[in-house]
Amino acid sequence: MQRRILVRAGLAAAVLPALHHAQVQAQAQTPATGTWPDKPIKWVLSQPPGSGPDNIARLLSNRLATGLGQPIVIDNKPGGQNVIGAQAAARAPADGYNFYFATTAALVTNSFMFKTLPYDPQKDFVPVAFIGRSPFALLVKAESPVNSLAELIAKSKAAPGTVSLANEGPRTFGGIIARLINSRLQMQANLVSYASVGISVQDVIGGHADAVVADVASTAQLVRQGRLKMLAVTHKTRIAGWEQVPALAESLPGFDMSGWMAVVAPTGTPQPVLARMHRDINALLADRDMAERILTIGPIAEPLATPELVGALLLDERKKWGDATREIGLLPE
């Protein structure tokens, strides 16, 4: 994966030739915008207040504001599968005072879910900083006799179609991942869609479904409380705090399907501003206390050294999720 990102970094550099140079300059001088920032900065979010991304955005922005000397205002614009917020961010002035705290859906998977979008994820934004990944997990209720991924696979093959695998639906991360797991592991499970991850998880706890694919952030506390049992995580490696839980990549080499968060800005935003924001966000993510606080919310902090690497990762993610949607036959609507 790291090799692919580095290769794609060359492609991203061709698209964003000035970013690295601007970053170096920004470390040695005041941004070209002179007194920037001399007024509040806005971060648009596609999620509502109190959501995981919102909590992380506020955690970071409060600390960033201290160093910048100006407040960072969180502008929540939820709805429309991230389209409302993404469109608003894309149309915001590229003046250095508007940023988009974006998720995988807005920058990548919406391109494969919709035939048309009122914004262009690749052309309307430039990368600023990568925040971190939000892995998913395969879980069963705590009292289940199934104690491993291998046992769940064996149970599903022993009675094809009788083992139910709950998820949020085919057009969600959980649904896409569930279908990939079912196909690649030849599980022969019955995929059951729910209106929300909360409902699907409660049905597993109540014994109405055998297993569920859900994000670690929303299920970790239930595992700690002894109500759920985690069989595997979808991150490329085992994750901090859950080292006893195997990664799916141990059974499916190369499997790495997680949600993530990144900060981007409207195309045309002054390069020194982008470089300063990238540097300050990365410094925060490198702080152990901040990384641990982010981890308690769910995601794994993962700063990338340059904006070019962020752009390269976005290219890699577009290919990966595009391949996944084609593999399971998911068509845009």
- Residue-wise pLDDT tens digits, 153-178: 999 999 999 999 999 988 899 999 99
Kindly state whether residues 141 and 128 are assigned to the same domain: no
Residue 16 sits in which domain range? 2-134+259-327
Kindly state whether residues 224 and 281 are assigned to the same domain: no
Kindly state whether residues 148 and 209 are assigned to the same domain: yes
Given a cut of 70, is residue 3 above it in pLDDT?
no
Residue 1: per-residue pLDDT: 46
Final residue of a domain: which of 230, 250, 270? 250
- First and final C-alpha spacing in the chain: 30
Pick 1 or 296 by higher pLDDT.
Answer: 296
Contacts of residue 184, defined as CB under 8 A and 6 or more positions apart, other chains included, come to 252, 255
Residue 142 placed within a domain? yes
Given a cut of 50, is residue 272 above it in pLDDT?
yes
Kindly state whether residues 44 and 125 are assigned to the same domain: yes
CA distance 213 to 230: 10
Kindly state whether residues 9 and 121 are assigned to the same domain: yes
Contacts of residue 135, defined as CB under 8 A and 6 or more positions apart, other chains included, come to 215, 216, 233, 234, 235, 239, 258, 300
CA distance 64 to 57: 10
| pLDDT > 90 fraction of the chain, expressed in percent and rounded | 82
Tokens 């046992």 correspond to 151
Q: What are phi and psi of 72, to 5 degrees?
A: -110, 120
Token reading at 171: 């057009």
Residue 333 placed within a domain? no
| pLDDT > 70 fraction of the chain, expressed in percent and rounded | 90
Q: Which run of H or E residues covers position 199?
A: helix 197-205
Q: How many domains does the chain have?
A: 2
CA distance 10 to 84: 32
Residue 34: per-residue pLDDT: 65
Given a cut of 70, is residue 63 above it in pLDDT?
yes
How large is the average pLDDT for residues 293-302? 90
Residue 39 placed within a domain? yes
Reported as a pLDDT band with limits 50, 70 and 90, residue 282 is very high
Nearest to 201 by CA among 212, 186, 215, 193: 212
The single-letter code of the amino acid at 113 is: M
Q: What is the pLDDT of residues 207-257, one digit of tens each?
A: 999 999 999 988 999 999 999 999 999 999 999 889 999 999 999 999 999
User: How many other C-beta atoms are found inside a 10 Å radius of the C-beta of residue 176?
Assistant: 26
Count of positions (residues) in the chain:
333
Residue 30: per-residue pLDDT: 40
The single-letter code of the amino acid at 1 is: M
Kindly state whether residues 286 and 312 are assigned to the same domain: yes
CA distance 51 to 147: 31
Residue 72: per-residue pLDDT: 98
Final residue of a domain: which of 221, 250, 279? 250
Stretch among 30-34, 53-57, 182-186, 315-319 having the lowest mean pLDDT: 30-34
Kindly state whether residues 230 and 269 are assigned to the same domain: no
Pick 31 or 115 by higher pLDDT.
Answer: 115
Kindly state whether residues 268 and 129 are assigned to the same domain: yes
Given a cut of 60, is residue 18 above it in pLDDT?
no
Kindly state whether residues 92 and 200 are assigned to the same domain: no
DSSP β-bridge partners for residue 266: 125
Kindly state whether residues 149 and 194 are assigned to the same domain: yes
CA distance 174 to 257: 10
Domain holding 300: CATH number?
Answer: 3.40.190.150
Domain holding 228: CATH number?
Answer: 3.40.190.10
Final residue of a domain: which of 233, 250, 267? 250
Residue 332 placed within a domain? no
